């Protein structure tokens, strides 16, 4: 079974509470999302494997440790996942970025794919799939399937707010994928929005309310 990591550091929880407030405008919402993504990225990368390399310091040779293997890939689920990319890239500037475009059909709440562009060597990378909202879990499950079809074996899913329904769906479909979230909320409403949540993340990021 995959693990659910609730990263409830006080700084993250405080920033998330500002984002949840309906009075918070797009500019602040975007900035806070970027900051939280960076703070969460720090925790999500805590266990990255290191390898020994030999370097020359100004004084001597030494065996130093650096992150091993191919570097990472960050894959946002469009649109809202875009809001988390810059924060993560400021931590991991060498990461390649892929994009998966999905939107939820307003009637069925099922994800509809409209775009997919991934780095050619994505199967050799540790992938961080990002989307602020994990609601029914449909978008995350479909995106994870897409990544696995492309050969990805090491994937972590990072969101901001998760509903128990979404966590259960991802964990049962993809038991190898750990989930990192800043908050686990109560439930979904009849329109499959997370309650209490923060509303429609894409609309709040891009001002399309
Ligand atoms: C939102 C959100 C997720 C999805 C979550 O995107 O950003 O991608 O819904 O819901 P699910 O877990 O029930 O699939 P939306 O479809 O509204 O598209 P957008 O990001 O373009 O606004
Ligand atoms: N998508 C959002 O943006 N918010 C929700 O609460 C659920 C899905």
- Residue whose Cα lies nearest atom 7 of ligand 2: it is 193
| pLDDT at residue number 71 | 84
Task: Give the pairing type, strands 178-181 and 154-158.
Answer: parallel
Please tell me the number of the ligand nearest to residue 187's CA.
2
CB 183 within 8 A of CB 132: no
Q: Say what the pTM is.
A: 0.96
Q: Nearest to residue 201, comparing CAs of 102, 108, 141, 133?
A: 133
- The residue nearest atom 2 of ligand 2, judged by CA position, is 200
The ligand 2 atom nearest the CA atom of 204: 3
Ligand 2: does its nearest atom lie under 6 Å from the Cβ of 132? Answer: no
Tell me which ligand sits closest to the C-alpha of residue 166: 1
Using a 6 Å cutoff on CB, does residue 19 contact ligand 2?
Answer: no
pLDDT digits (tens, 9 = 90+) for 182-194: 999 999 999 999 9
- Which residues of the chain fall below pLDDT 50? none
Contacts (Cβ under 8 Å, ≥6 apart) of 139: 77, 102, 104, 111, 131
- Tokens for 162, please give them: 């998760």
Q: DSSP code of 22?
A: T
């Amino acid at each position: 079974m995959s693990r659910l990591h609730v990263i409830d550091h006080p700084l993250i929880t405080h920033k998330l509470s500002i984002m949840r407030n309906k009075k918070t405008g797009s500019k602040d919402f975007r900035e806070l999302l970027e900051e939280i993504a960076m703070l969460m990225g720090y925790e999500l990368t805590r266990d990255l494997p290191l390898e020994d390399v030999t370097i020359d310091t100004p004084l001597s040779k030494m065996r130093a440790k650096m992150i091993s293997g191919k570097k990472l890939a960050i894959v946002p689920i469009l649109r809202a996942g875009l809001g988390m990319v810059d924060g993560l890239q400021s931590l991991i500037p060498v990461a390649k970025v892929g994009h998966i475009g999905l939107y939820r059909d307003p009637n069925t709440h099922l994800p509809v794919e409209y775009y997919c562009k991934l780095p050619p060597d994505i199967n050799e990378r540790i992938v961080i799939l990002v989307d602020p909202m994990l609601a029914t879990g449909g978008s995350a499950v479909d995106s994870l399937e897409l990544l696995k079809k492309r050969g990805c074996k090491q994937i972590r899913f990072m969101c901001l707010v998760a509903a128990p329904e979404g966590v259960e769906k991802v964990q049962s479909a993809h038991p190898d994928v750990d989930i990192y979230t800043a908050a686990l909320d109560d439930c979904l409403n009849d329109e499959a929005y997370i309650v209490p949540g923060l509303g429609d993340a894409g609309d709040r990021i891009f001002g399309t309310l």
